[in-house]
Structure formats: structure tokens, C-alpha cells
Amino acid sequence: MISKKNILIGLILFLILLIMFFREYLYTYRMMLENFVPYDFYQNQVLYFSNFNDDYKLTLPSAVRLIPILFYFIIYKTFPCLKLTNIEQNLSEEYVCATNAVAMGNYIILITILVVFLFYQIKILKRPTEEGYLSLILCYAVIKYLDHFTIDRFVVLYLILILYFINNIKLSIILILFSFLVSEKIFFITGVLFFLRFFFFNEKKNI
């Protein structure tokens, strides 16, 4: 299912899209720093894991969405912190860099969603290549309606991964069990899906 050729194609496509949509990351980063719209400040939880200062600690349920927060935290610790111009000077450097980590993380997730979704269409659903690329455009259009600043994109990517490996029962069950550490919504969505698959399995119906 995942050959070396597919991995190479996926990496090349990932890099192309990463360059094409770089402005998306810059817009998201600036809007987060300027509080353009209300959103959950996951960068504060990143800072809490960094220095355990209770002033940054989020409350439930945001605080237990550990997998995406850990992803942002790794970026915070490893990626260079890009500084933007014409930003309020009273923001601390650590807050700016944590915000950069969340913006960069969501940008990487966006590109990953597009690549995985394309392979899902072509390899799993067996759609023609032309249909796959058309669905890629439609997928991007839908993702644009998601929140750019929080974990919504991470949730969508996780759901697509579950769908990608849905015929691998052991792996898909593991993904679902860990879904509580991403977002509690995933468990309920996939719970309904697996119930339908199990209920109609003997009748061999496609749901």
C-alpha cells in the first residue's frame, strides 16, 4: 500500500505545495499575533510545557489535546523562530516563537492533509488520477473554512489517516483509542462509522 515510489512522490508533492502555499503560513502567523479573530491560545499550552508556568496553562478540554500540542511543542523547540515586522513590541519573544510554532504546525498539517487525501483518493478509493487532483482542489477549498489557528486541521488529518487505514483493523483501533489525545470529537465520529461498518458487514454493503 505504501511503497518507496509512493513515499518519494508524496515527498516531492509535499515540497511543491509547501513552497506554493507559503504565504498561507505568513498570513496565519500575523493574524494570530494580532488577535485578528478570537481563538484558543494553544501557544500558551506550548509555553506551559516549556516552563511549567501556571499563567500559561489552558483548561479542559484544550489542555488534554496532547498530541497536537506535543507536535507544536516539538516545532517550538526545533524550528527557527521567524520574526514578522510591524508587530506589537510588548509581546514577549517566547510568546511570539510559540505562536510561530502553532502557525507553522498548522501550515505543515495543511500540506500533509492535501498529500494524504490525494493518495487516499487514488490508492484507497481507486479513483482516476484526474479525479484525485480535482478532489485535491476541492479539499483545499473546504479546508480554507476551518479555523487556521487551532487544532481543527490536525483533527481532519487524523480522521483522514483513520480512513486511510480503516481496513487495517488493529491500526485503526489504535488510532481511534489515541484520538482522545487529539480531540474528543474524533472518537464519536469514528464510533458511528465503525458501528455502521460492523452492522452492515454481513450484508456486504458499502457505507
CA dihedral (12, 15, 19, 20) positive or negative? positive
Ranges of each domain in the chain: 4-152
pTM given for the model = 0.81
Identity of the highest mean pLDDT range in 100-104, 133-137, 191-195: 100-104
85: left (phi over 0), alpha (psi -120 to 50) or beta: beta
In this prediction, residues 19-41 reach a mean pLDDT of 86
- Taking residues 91-103, what's their average pLDDT? 90
Average pLDDT, the chain: 84
Task: Judge if the upstream peptide bond of residue 61 is cis by omega within 30 degrees of 0.
Answer: yes
Closest CA relative to residue 96, chosen from 45, 29, 155: 29
Alpha carbon 98 to its chain's center? 17
pLDDT of 6 > 80? The answer is no
Per-residue pLDDT of 32-80, as tens digits, reads 888 877 778 888 889 988 888 777 887 778 778 888 999 999 999 999 8
Query: What local confidence, expressed as pLDDT, does residue 84 receive?
Result: 85
C-alpha 114/C-alpha 50 separation (Å) is 31
Beta carbons within 10 angstroms of residue 171's beta carbon = 14
Q: Is the pLDDT of residue 207 over 50?
A: no
